[in-house]
Amino acid sequence: MKQKMRIYQLAISVLLCISVIVFARDSFAQDTNPNYRKGIEYAAEGKFREAQGWFEDNLKSNKSDSTSISSLGVINDLNDGKITDVYARSFFAGLNHLQNGKIEEALKEMESLIESKPGYPRPYNVVGVVYASLGDRVKSKEYFQKAVEIDPEYSVAYFNLALLYQSSAQPEEALKYYEKTLSLDPKCFDAIINKAAIYASRGKYSEAIQFYQNAIKIDQNNPEVYYNLALAYYMSDQLVRFRDNLLKAKELYQRNGDTAGLEKVAEYMNKMEEIENKARRAR
């Protein structure tokens, strides 16, 4: 089961990432998704109203998109007077560098922002994400911890600390920070599914099932959640529910044109057929 139940991460991958660790939220994914990419470009130009529209449109089709959620958080900070127009443009310029794979330029931009406004937590978190993606866990942890030191209610940085510990095979520490994340943001999709994955990897399938069910309440169209939920039911011998959720995952993978997902489902579809054939012979 440990091999089958992967840690599900809706996350960024910096273009030059050399680490297998991928961090989510305020990390701003390198992706082909035109909505938030265009939104970041608009925001870097100071066109915040247009950027906000792109991010909001993206969330209509992908409710758990961490990039759009975090980008809107920055725009809200601007609207609330926490940062200036110039600061916000520089912040998004750094993110634009990230999505174009310009790591050194992105770090330089964020470090400049930290120097100019050391009491604003978001650049620390982004720098932490970059260092984690480059494999420097020590620096990454330092920046995440600095972010929550500045803002003890900054759920995003707690989440990234949790993921850092999870990827370092320290599940107890990871669970502690996921719990902190969820106490601040009960609908944090990423935290819910990663917590479920930890429980499943430790054979605690009833707990994993509960968290996957909670994730579905947030995003009913995510095939990975149904797939992992199906595996949890399979490992706990709840075969009818295993079948129902596997078929739902298959339906959503087909809708998305996800051939890799369909290949994963096919393996367990064969197991499902074997189970049903044995049941028929036993009658």
For the stretch 220-257, pLDDT in tens is 999 999 999 999 999 999 999 999 999 999 999 999 99
The confidence score (pLDDT) of residue 18 equals 21
Q: Is residue 204 part of a domain?
A: no
**Whether pLDDT at 266 is above 80:** yes
For residues 147-159, b (16+ Cβ closer than 10 Å) or e, as one string? bbebbeebbbbbb
Q: Is residue 267 part of a domain?
A: no
Q: Is residue 179 part of a domain?
A: yes
Distance CA 186, CA 180 (A): 10
Q: Is residue 271 part of a domain?
A: no
H helix and E strand count, the chain? 14, 0
CA distances from 205 to 26, 62, 217 (A): 30, 27, 18
Distance CA 242, CA 234 (A): 5
CATH number, domain containing residue 39: 1.25.40.10
Domain carrying residue 79: 1-185
Q: Is residue 253 part of a domain?
A: no
Q: Is residue 246 part of a domain?
A: no
Q: How many domains does the chain have?
A: 1
Q: What is the pTM of this model?
A: 0.82
Q: Is residue 247 part of a domain?
A: no
**Whether pLDDT at 68 is above 70:** yes
